[in-house]
Structures are given as structure tokens and as C-alpha cells.
Amino acid sequence: MEYRVSFPESIRLRLKALAEKLRPSGQGKELGRVLAGIIEDLRYRPLEVGEIMYHLRHIPMPVKTMTKEYMAVVFAVHEAKKFVMVKKLTMLADHPFPDGTDRFLNQY
């Protein structure tokens, strides 16, 4: 069963700006490849991937964390509504992009 995946506006805007920043060097496609893999995991296997960090108190949604290559994502899953909400997306230190790219994405 397919889950609906939602990103906060702040993360979507940062990802869009980062992709544009990386486009001239051709690295925007690499970022898109890893993000597509994350979205596929969250859309089709959110209950199987990642580790549960905690459960929300008033809503039946476990909050989980997972890594995919050089990115980490924190997300909540509502199994009954088939919904995944990305809470945080972080670039890890071993990413292949220019210096400062991780700080650009990881600012909150």
C-alpha cells in the first residue's frame, strides 16, 4: 500500500534552492537520486525502514529515523491514514558536495 509523503515547506524550499545551487556543477542530479530513494522508502516501506525514536503521545504515530547514503531523515508514520510526515532532513558529513552544503541544508 502506498503512503502519502509530506515535507514541511521550509525543507522543500531549502531542497529547491540547494538543487539550483548544485545544478551548474551537475551535482543536482546526485542530490535528486538520493532524495528519490528516500521518498521511495517512505512511500512504500515506512514501517520497515528506520528505527523508532519515540511515539507521539496523542496521535498513533511513531517517530523514526533512517539514513540513506549521506542523508538522515526523521519522520512520523500514521499507519491508519497511510501518511508519512518528514520532520527533519540532514546531510551527513561524508556527502560528495562542496564545503558548506551540509550547513545550507541543515540550518533551522
Q: Domain with 15 in it: what CATH number?
A: 3.30.2310.20
Looking at the 3D structure of the chain, how many domains does it have? 1
Q: How far apart are CA 44 and CA 52, in angstroms?
A: 17
Residue 74 lies in a domain: yes
For residue 28, what are the CA distances in angstroms to 47, 62, 91? Answer: 29, 31, 14
Residue 65 lies in a domain: yes
Segments forming the whole domain that contains residue 82? 4-99
- List the pLDDT tens digit at each of the 108 positions of the chain: 899 999 999 999 988 888 888 888 888 888 889 999 999 999 999 999 999 999 988 888 999 999 999 899 999 999 999 999 999 998 888 888 877 777 777 665
Residue 54 lies in a domain: yes
State the burial class of residue 31 (Cβ atoms within 10 Å of its Cβ: 0-12, 13-18, 19+): buried
Q: How far apart are CA 59 and CA 39, in angstroms?
A: 23
Residue 105 lies in a domain: no
Q: What's this model's pTM, rounded to 2 decimal places?
A: 0.89
Residue 104 lies in a domain: no
